[in-house]
Structure 1
Amino acid sequence: MDLVARRRRTSGLRHDEVARLAGVSTDYYVRLEQGRERDPSDQVLGSLARVLQLDLEATRHLYELAHRRASQLRKVIGSRGEPVGPEVLRFIERQDDVAAFVVNRHWDVLAQNPLNAALHEGLEHNGNLMRMTFLNPASREFYLDWEQEASFKVAHFRAAVGANHHDPSLYELVEELSLGSDDFRRLWARHDVRGRTHGSIRLHRDDVGDMALTFEIFAVCRAPGQLLVVLQAESGSPSEHALARLAGLAAAR
């Protein structure tokens, strides 16, 4: 698998122009792009990131791909169906007024509290948020800013694929989503690599209406590839009342 071909070249630049601007030979750049040059220096990678106008997240991704031979020696951690640590489970279970859940690099939901289960209840493919986003048309009503949310998930997922290219199940999911969704193919072809640790999201459920929530994403350090996501509403806001109503409806079922 290649390095630089995962990122779009600057519009209009040929191989020789990219190589010249980065201070390397054309032959070396072509070998690098084709994956035949496996040990580029950090100086070369920095020059290519500058020429290709990569942002911080994409530059980190480029470095991860460049040093992937070292990662090949590491065990594939975070396979599908992996357990969530008891400390994390206890934390999730104790959260009553926020939605909390853990996903792996496939965006499989590994654990969640009752409020998050209620938030996603009734949505097909809600056990995997990539499938739910791209293979369930109802997700366009659930995510009020669907394009923004879909772009984030694809960019985050691409980073996971690049950093764990030896995990065939990731590529199987890419193939499944590519076959099932024109939008996934369109966003995947952009080669965006971007992560978020916090932000806001707008959701809609017919039973409680619109909700504007903030989220925080934490890496579970003891389980590489796992992420803890916490969604909450501003205190006293209509969204907080909507979450409370949702929790009440779930408890009454």
Structure 2
Amino acid sequence: MECALKDRRVLVVGRGSGIAQAITHAVRTAGAEVVVAGRDRDKLAASYDDPGITAEFLDITDDASIGTFASRVGHLDHVVSTASARARGALPQLQRTDLLLSLNTKLLGPLMLAKHLTPHMGGNGDSSFVLFSGVHAFKAKVGYLGVGITNGAVDFLTRSLAVEVAPIRVNAVSPGVIDTGAWDAMGEDGKRQYFQQVSAANPVGRIGTIDDIAQAAIFAMTNSFMTGVTLKIDGGEPLT
């Protein structure tokens, strides 16, 4: 994949760690200039020591912030949105505010990014959006109702937006269980047991890595004959 994105300019929205950070490094290795954007610009800037990576402020839940960002960021070739706000919990525990934040961050935020950023992108099929869905869009599980409906909506948005903004391409990545640090709250023993359980059930026999997801994102950006597709990078979890 080295130099597959040579001289391209890529926006990665999200935190300066985990999947977003892995994608940023992969994109740089592939030859692109990267703009990283999120609500904590200083923390983002401190996460990278590379003159080819610049940090910008962006609140994906605020249309004024998106509009201001679009007016100053200039030309972009690819946009990757990894931002999320998970509304986990079984039905009795779900709160409307958490559900709205989940949808606002992972669904409506990327939609409004497309509205404001497409005028700054090329229209020859070499430009794209990469959104993020997730395994629970395709496998219902108690405790993940809010996550599932958000991710399912992103899957539908991917297909609809691919038609709306064509020839700019729109694809999504749908990760399974990935060791990103998101599970650290379970404690070392709890996380290890959970990962062992998922690995034993997955057809591929393991959980995912951030590099698995980063390479899928690169593929989505560089395959110019693919649009409206959700890449299920989940170890086959929905099959079990």
The TM-score range, normalised by the shorter chain, is under 0.3
With normalisation by structure 1, the TM-score equals 0.24
With normalisation by structure 2, the TM-score equals 0.25
- Asked which structure has the greater CA Rg, the reply is 1
